[in-house]
Amino acid sequence: MREFPRRHQRGRPALGTAAALAVLALAAVAACGGPSSGAKDVDLGPGPAQVGTVKDGALKGVDMTFVSYGGIYQKGQQEAATDPFATASGATVVQDGPTDNAKIKAQVESNNVTWDVVDTGSVWADAQCDKLLMPLDYSIIDKSRIPAGLAGKCSVPAMQYGYVLAYNKTKFGADPPKGWADFFDTQRFPGKRALNGDPSDPEPGPYEAALLADGVAAAALYPLDAARAERKLGSIRPQLVFWKTGAESQQLLESGEVDMAMLWSGRAYGAIKNGAPYAVQWNQFLPVMDSLTVPKGVKSPKAAMALINYYLGAAQQAKLTELTTYSPVNTDARPQLDPLTTSFITTDKARQSQAVPVNTTWWAQNQDAMGQKWSDWLGG
Check if the beta carbon of residue 178 is closer than 8 Å to that of residue 283: yes
Q: Do 301 and 155 share a structural domain? A: yes
**10 is a domain residue:** no
Q: Are residues 265 and 301 in the same domain?
A: no
Assigned domain for 368 exists: yes
CA separation for the pair 302, 290 (Å, rounded): 22
**346 domain-assigned:** no
Tell me the mean pLDDT in the region 130-159.
94
Give the 3-state secondary structure of residue 234: helix
- Fill in the DSSP letter of residue 3: P
Residue 135: asked if its preceding bond is cis (omega within 30°), the reply is no
Look up the CATH number of the domain holding residue 175. 3.40.190.10
In sequence order, which ranges of 193-293 are alpha helices (DSSP H)?
A: 206-213, 226-234, 246-254, 265-273
Type and span of the H or E element at 81: none
Cα(117)–Cα(126) distance, rounded to whole angstroms? 15
| 3-class secondary-structure state, position 358 | coil
140 and 218, same domain (yes or no): no
Q: What is the pLDDT of residues 235-265, one digit of tens each?
A: 999 999 999 888 899 999 999 999 999 998 9
Residues 138 and 258 in one domain: no
Indicate whether 81 belongs to any domain: yes
Judgement on whether residues 202 and 275 belong to the same structural domain of the protein: yes
Residue ranges making up the domain that contains 369: 161-288+353-379
Using one digit for the tens of pLDDT, what is the confidence trace for 341-355? 999 998 878 898 999
Residue 12 included in any domain: no
Number of separate domains in the chain: 2
pTM of the model: 0.77
Residues 53 and 153 grouped into a single domain: yes
pLDDT tens profile 169-210: 999 989 999 999 999 999 999 999 999 998 876 789 999 999
Do 171 and 253 have their domain in common?
yes
Same domain (yes/no): 278, 375: yes
